[in-house]
Structure 1
Amino acid sequence: MRNRIDAYSHVFTREVEEAFLDLDPSHGKHKPNLLYHENVDERIDHLDRIGVDKQVITMTGQRIWPNVDPADGIEATRLANDEVRRYADTDPDRFVPVGTVPFLTGEYVDEFERCVNDLDLAGIQIFTNANGKPLDHDDFDAFYAAVDDADVPIWIHPLDSEWYPDLDADDYWLYAMMGWPFDTGLAIGRLVFSGVLDRFENLEIVTHHLGGVLPYLEERMRSWVETRQEYGDAYTGAESIQALSEPIDAYFDRVYADTAVSSRGLTHTLASGLEFFGEDNILFGADVPYGPGGGTKWLETTIPTIEEWDVPERTKRKIFSENVESLLAPQRL
């Protein structure tokens, strides 16, 4: 049996829940399956039964951060990172911990450095916006410089956005169902076309949900870039695109995508992602513990879907383990 490493799943602990309830009592209206998070033996037993060797874990929190003031959230952020380290330490052979910083300035840059240098976490999770600011904002250059120096990957998770402020759970959860993939594509587009990835050459990014809308917009993105590079003087705001030092493929080659597409066993979405990202940049990931079956169904469905997919055996090996092994420093995997 080939190795399998789940490159993007989550944990949540009661200690973190209580810390954030103090900051934002409303966040309790949506929380993941705490039992599956807290009961490490149950999770390991499940991984054993379905044949997953390791799991990269991040602290969940996409429904927590929007209502937290950055000035109030640093202690809870430190606790969350201590907790993901503690969780991973219960079985270091099975869990690879990644830290989280919801904001990207000041003390949160220091917290990133603590995650990598003191806690020895494998990378850092951020969100598709930080306190309402897009990820290419000039305020975040110090954060990107720190990540560039540390040479660890960034995991990006979608977050509720001001682009659809009127949507909430009463609107059929459309912000998560359809808005989050858009936000992921928008965030990566801003990092590429603004020149952030040009200025910080060591940045590598893992996107959730197969890169959101990126695979479906490839031809449109390429056509727009070609047009603006050819007729830049006719388009306000094209300067950063014209100033890129490399073809856009050089930047997208540093963007990875997981297979967490809420799998129902179909492969057409995966095929689109494979065509866009290429076989070296797709990572097996399942978004545990979200979805049906107490957070187990997507993981159980994704594995046979990839196994039975009509792609070369080499491609399956890369997706299941080799790509994430290449992405992470050996001592952190």
Structure 2
Amino acid sequence: MPEIIDATSHIMSHEALDELESVHPSSEIESLRNAPRMFDIEGRVDYLDANGIDRQVINLAAPMIWQGVDPDDGIEATRVANDEIARIGEEHDRFIPTGTVPFLTDEYVDEARRCVEELGMNGIQIFSNINGRMLDDDEFEEFYATIDDLDVPLWIHPQLAEWHDYDNSHTWIYKMLAWPFDTNIALARLIFSGVLDRYENIEIISHHLGGSFPYQIGRIRSWYQTRKEEPELYQNPAMADLSEPLDAYFDRIYGDTAVSSQGESYPLECGLEFFGTDNVVYSADYPFGPDKGQYWATEIIPLIEDLDIPEADKEKILSGNIKRLLDLE
């Protein structure tokens, strides 16, 4: 059996929640406190053992808790959260810690650097929008320059956005169906605005196998091509003058296998056709999902093992690609 490394999982600490709640109490924080497995380290180790998972990347859970937070008020909670995740990684060699920055300006840029250079973290998680601002906002340029300099991957986790006027009781539907859309927008903006063109060291791990990007790739390629060929036909063809073919940017995007499968193989196969076996990494989105977070691993690992691809490629997906990306032993 090849080594298995879970490339995206979510965790929370009571200390971080307490600090954030002191400046921005919310129903999302209250909800997290009702999910004990979000904090349970020993239960997480049991989960790894039960599913034959050797190691697990951990990053901070629940982007929604940062919505509406004043960045000046949230920086201390961010530091506490990253310190806690680093501590968990130091105390348990099964876990690979990554930092999270919910905002991308000022002190949060310094915090990203601290996570890598002082806490020894393997990468940085950001969200697919920053309080509704797109990831290619000009004010975020220093952040991308810093990540480019640090030469560590970015995890992009989807975030809620007020695309429509919906009440809080239905946010679960938006998490279910609109999060892949928000991932698509984030990836497309980073490509077509030229962020990835300007910063050649940036590589991205996109949650949920790139949203629906793989399914819509023909539409993405076609729209880009038509606007390049006949820009005079379009009122608003705002695009960077990219120096490379689209595939050069796609090659720097990875998709994790957290497709919430209940036995369906075609979402995984679609993602694999787009990303290729070198750019897919295993994940089951723990601790979320049915059966208290246990279910998806029992479905996704067998799906990978049953793929009609060489065994060497299965090993890449299960651990080889994330080891290469994070320079792990």
Is the alpha carbon distance of 1:235 and 1:131 closer, same or farther for their aligned partners in structure 2, counting shifts above 3 Å? same
State the alpha-carbon separation in 1 of the partners of residues 40 and 190 from structure 2: 37
1:134-154 per-residue CA deviation (whole Å, 9 max, x = no partner) reads 000110010000000000000
TM-score (norm 2): 0.96
CA contact (8 A) 1:127 1:158 kept: yes
State the alpha-carbon separation in 1 of the partners of residues 32 and 263 from structure 2: 26
Write out aligned runs for 1:69-88 (5 A): 69-88=70-89
Which residue of 2 is the match for residue 289 of structure 1?
287
Between the aligned residues of both structures, percent identity stands at 51
CA contact (8 A) 2:115 2:121 kept: yes
Which residue of 2 is the match for residue 263 of structure 1?
261
State the alpha-carbon separation in 2 of the partners of residues 113 and 17 from structure 1: 22
Secondary structure class of the residue paired with 1:206? strand
Q: CA deviation at 1:172?
A: 6.5
Q: CA deviation at 1:171?
A: 2.4
Does residue 59 (structure 1) correspond to residue 57 (structure 2)? The answer is: no
State the alpha-carbon separation in 2 of the partners of residues 315 and 83 from structure 1: 35
1:191-227 per-residue CA deviation (whole Å, 9 max, x = no partner) reads 0011100000100000000100101110001111110
Which residue of 2 is the match for residue 301 of structure 1?
299
One-letter amino acid of the structure 2 residue matched with residue 226 of structure 1: Q
Q: CA deviation at 1:178?
A: 0.6
Is the alpha carbon distance of 1:75 and 1:46 closer, same or farther for their aligned partners in structure 2, counting shifts above 3 Å? same
1:100-140 per-residue CA deviation (whole Å, 9 max, x = no partner) reads 00000000000001001100100000000113210001100
One-letter amino acid of the structure 2 residue matched with residue 229 of structure 1: K
Which residue of 2 is the match for residue 202 of structure 1?
201
Is the alpha carbon distance of 1:294 and 1:239 closer, same or farther for their aligned partners in structure 2, counting shifts above 3 Å? closer
Write out aligned runs for 1:124-143 (5 A): 124-143=124-143
State the alpha-carbon separation in 2 of the partners of residues 137 and 75 from structure 1: 24
Moved more, 144-153 or 25-34: 25-34
Moved more, 313-322 or 25-34: 25-34
Is the alpha carbon distance of 1:57 and 1:37 closer, same or farther for their aligned partners in structure 2, counting shifts above 3 Å? same
State the alpha-carbon separation in 1 of the partners of residues 166 and 317 from structure 2: 35
Secondary structure class of the residue paired with 2:304? helix
**Structure 1 residues without counterparts, runs of 5 or longer:** none
Q: CA deviation at 1:33?
A: 6.3
One-letter amino acid of the structure 1 residue matched with residue 197 of structure 2: D
Q: CA deviation at 1:297?
A: 1.2
Which residue of 1 is the match for residue 32 of structure 2?
31
Which residue of 2 is the match for residue 104 of structure 1?
104
Secondary structure class of the residue paired with 1:177? helix
One-letter amino acid of the structure 2 residue matched with residue 101 of structure 1: V
Secondary structure class of the residue paired with 1:233? helix
State the alpha-carbon separation in 1 of the partners of residues 90 and 173 from structure 2: 36
CA contact (8 A) 1:167 1:175 kept: no
TM-score (norm 1): 0.94
**Structure 2 residues without counterparts, runs of 5 or longer:** none
CA contact (8 A) 2:209 2:257 kept: yes
Is the alpha carbon distance of 1:214 and 1:156 closer, same or farther for their aligned partners in structure 2, counting shifts above 3 Å? same
Which residue of 2 is the match for residue 321 of structure 1?
319
Q: RMSD over aligned Cα, in angstroms?
A: 1.5
Q: CA deviation at 1:13?
A: 1.4
Q: CA deviation at 1:292?
A: 1.3
Secondary structure class of the residue paired with 2:98? strand
One-letter amino acid of the structure 2 residue matched with residue 317 of structure 1: E
1:9-67 per-residue CA deviation (whole Å, 9 max, x = no partner) reads 01111112222222332223432764323332221122112100110000112120112
Secondary structure class of the residue paired with 2:63? coil
Does residue 4 (structure 1) correspond to residue 4 (structure 2)? The answer is: yes
Q: CA deviation at 1:239?
A: 4.9
CA contact (8 A) 1:167 1:174 kept: no
State the alpha-carbon separation in 2 of the partners of residues 322 and 32 from structure 1: 35
State the alpha-carbon separation in 1 of the partners of residues 201 and 215 from structure 2: 26
Which residue of 2 is the match for residue 42 of structure 1?
43
Secondary structure class of the residue paired with 1:134? coil
Which residue of 1 is the match for residue 222 of structure 2?
223
Number of residue pairs aligned between Structure 1 and Structure 2: 328
